[in-house]
Structure 1
Amino acid sequence: MTTRNCATKVILASASPRRHHLLEEMLNWPIKVMPVSIEERLLPKEVPTESAKRLALLKASAIAISFPECLVIGADTLVVVDETVLGKPHDRHEALQMLKKLNGRKHLVVTGVAICRGDEIASDVEVTEVEFRNTSEEALARYAELGEGDDKAGAYAIQGKGALLVCSIKGCYYNVVGMPLYLLSVLLEQFDIPLTCQWRCEKDEVAL
């Protein structure tokens, strides 16, 4: 294992504060955040797993072309209920409608993760099943008005007040937050970055 691989600079192609927190504060990775604007449009007959993976790769590759020596991480999360894909709500009314669809039911959280470094690419998808408690429309409206789910697929945040809406999950918790850490770790190994290098400590300095 080379020192270069353990000290690779990392760019997050996302404006998500949740993803930034998971990588920088939890894992102690020095991250440069570079949000990228792409058309997050679903293609006809494209299944959600394919959509999430494609969109994640579009985000990562858009930044990687200008920073070939860096690891660029892209991610995209979709919520799926009854084969209907829920993205981010446009307003509080739409947020409430999404929450009503999820109320008392199971849904899938699908996150595509892509890593690019130069011409190297690794990508995959994580799927987690989440079950909502059955509650009143008044309670759902109250949560929607809090604004916590304004910028989140499915209009809720499991790591915040939205945790009270969730009665169970099956699969990766961090996937529901927005970045499946185990999957990310496995993808990093494809770049010759072993688990021992993924745990960084204060003395591991990487200039970005």
Structure 2
Amino acid sequence: MKSFILASGSPRRKELLEQAYFSFQIQTSTIVETVEEGLTPKEVVEQLALQKAKNVWSQNQDAVILGADTVVAIDDVILGKPHDEEEAKAMLERLSGRTHSVYTGVAICSPSGLETFSEQTDVEFYPLTDEDIAMYIRSREPFDKAGGYGIQGFGAFLVKRIIGDYYTVVGLPLAKTIRELRKIEIHPNR
């Protein structure tokens, strides 16, 4: 059986692969993420996922490596992870009552080649009051999440609806990823 490595320290990606019954190791990429100017959010997540996967693959060329990256974008602006309460508040105010897009890019490096893809899911937020935003920031959940929220946690109360794959918003488009892994003989253990 081929060795399968997740090139991410994301607890959410780990949980999703475990949920899908994969056996894998984790080796976090050590690259400094860089992105070319002028790329679309789709291109950004694919480029970053590929950088992460290639970095880990350079040390494990006989293994299958999965890298992924997720961004939140609104008005053609990518929202990263907020650094402080003020930045989290500004992000949540910007998303309030509006629809934004979440992109997750995936790169799979293996001895048989390279596959890169991404998925987009649109997320509509309820209009948020100042108290909604303050309560969510007090939860401390915004600070390690792209766009300042996590749909799988307490942040679910912000979301009015989604159009697309829920797991793309969590951090890994699971159905598409499973199909791509099966093409190179990486299968769930069930």
TM-score band w.r.t. shorter chain: over 0.9
Cα-to-partner distance string for 1:5-58 (whole Å, 9 max, x where unaligned): xx322111111000001102x122222111113333432111111110000000
Is structure 2 residue 7 aligned with structure 1 residue 13? Answer: yes
- Counterpart CA distance in 2 for 1:199 and 1:112 is 21
The TM-score with structure 2 as length reference comes to 0.94
Aligned-partner SS, 1:198: coil
Aligned-partner SS, 2:157: helix
Q: Percent identity?
A: 41
The TM-score with structure 1 as length reference comes to 0.87
Unaligned runs of 5+ in 2: none
**2:17 counterpart residue number:** 23
- Counterpart CA distance in 1 for 2:167 and 2:28 is 20
Contact kept? 1:122, 1:190, Cα under 8 Å: no
Aligned-partner SS, 1:150: helix
**1:182 counterpart residue number:** 175
**2:25 counterpart residue number:** 32
Is structure 2 residue 46 aligned with structure 1 residue 53? Answer: yes
User: Over aligned residues, Cα RMSD in angstroms?
Assistant: 1.4
Cα-to-partner distance string for 1:119-166 (whole Å, 9 max, x where unaligned): 610010100000001120221121012111211101111011001100
Aligned-partner SS, 1:22: helix
- Counterpart CA distance in 2 for 1:16 and 1:138 is 29
Aligned-partner SS, 2:144: coil
Deviates more, 1:87-96 or 1:159-168: 87-96
Aligned-partner SS, 1:158: coil
Unaligned runs of 5+ in 1: 1-6, 202-208
Aligned-partner SS, 2:143: coil
**1:83 counterpart residue number:** 76
**1:123 counterpart residue number:** 116
What is the aligned residue count? 190
**1:101 counterpart residue number:** 94
Larger Rg: 1
Cα-to-partner distance string for 1:46-100 (whole Å, 9 max, x where unaligned): 1111110000000001001111121110000010001110011112221111111
- Map residues 192-207 of structure 1 onto 2, 5 A cutoff: 193=185, 198-201=187-190
Contact kept? 1:14, 1:35, Cα under 8 Å: yes
Contact kept? 1:86, 1:153, Cα under 8 Å: yes
Runs of 4+ that moved beyond 6 A: none
Change in CA separation of 1:112 and 1:9 when aligned onto 2, cut-off 3 Å: same
